[in-house]
Amino acid sequence: MQPLFSRLFAAVVLVPVVALAAPPSQAPAKKPSARPSKQYTISQFMETTDLEGASFSPDEKKLLFSSNESGIFNAYSVPVKGGKPSPLTRSKTDTTYAVSYFPHDERILYTRDQGGNENSHLYVRGLDGQEKDLTPGANVKALFFGWKEDDGSAFYVLSNERDARFFDLYKYGAKTYERALLYQNDGNYRVAGLSRDEKWIALGKDRTTSDSDIHLYDVVKKEHKHITPHQGTATHSVAEFDPGSTALYFLTDAGSEFSRVKRYVLATGQHEEVERANWDIMYTYFSRNGTYRVTAINEDGRTAIHLHDVKAGKQVALPRMPEGGISSVTFARSEKRMAFYHEGDRSPGNLYVYEFATGKATRLTDALTRQIDPMDLVDTQVVRFKSFDGLEIPNILYKPHQATPENKAPAIVWVHGGPGGQTRRRYAAMLQYLANHGYVVLGINNRGSSGYGKTFFTADDQKHGREPLRDCVEAKKYLASLPYVDGSRIGIAGGSYGGYMALAALAFHPDTFNVGVDIFGVSNWLRTLQGMPADWEAFREALYQEMGDPVKQEQMLKDISPLFHADKIQKPLLVIQGANDPRVIQAESDDIVAAVKKNNVPVEYVVFPDEGHGFTKKKNEVEAGSRMLHFLDQYLKKSSPSPVN
Query: Residue 384 forms beta bridges with which residues?
Result: 394
- Whether residue 235 is predicted with pLDDT greater than 70 in this model: the reply is yes
pLDDT value, residue 321: 86
pLDDT value, residue 320: 86
| Cα gap 296→284, rounded to integer Å | 7
pLDDT value, residue 36: 66
- Whether residue 458 is predicted with pLDDT greater than 90 in this model: the reply is yes
Nearest to 513 by CA among 444, 427, 448: 444
Please report, for the chain, the start and end positions of each structural domain, with discontinuous segments joined by +.
50-186, 378-637
Query: Residue 193 forms beta bridges with which residues?
Result: 202
- Whether residue 255 is predicted with pLDDT greater than 70 in this model: the reply is yes
Ranges of H-type helices in 238-304:
none
Nearest to 216 by CA among 264, 158, 168: 264
CATH code, 378-637: 3.40.50.1820
The per-residue pLDDT for range 51-71, each reduced to its tens digit, is 999 999 999 999 999 999 999
Across the chain, mean pLDDT equals 92
Nearest to 464 by CA among 548, 565, 553: 548
Do the domains 378-637 and 50-186 match in fold? no
Chain Cα centroid distance, residue 598: 36
Where does the pLDDT of residue 538 fall: very low under 50, low under 70, confident under 90, or very high at 90 and above? confident
**Among the CATH numbers 3.40.190.10, 2.40.30.20, 1.10.1040.10, 2.120.10.30, which is that of 50-186?**
2.120.10.30
| Cα gap 456→8, rounded to integer Å | 22
Whether omega before 419 lies within 30 degrees of 0, making that bond cis, reads yes
What is the rounded average pLDDT of the residues 155-173? 97
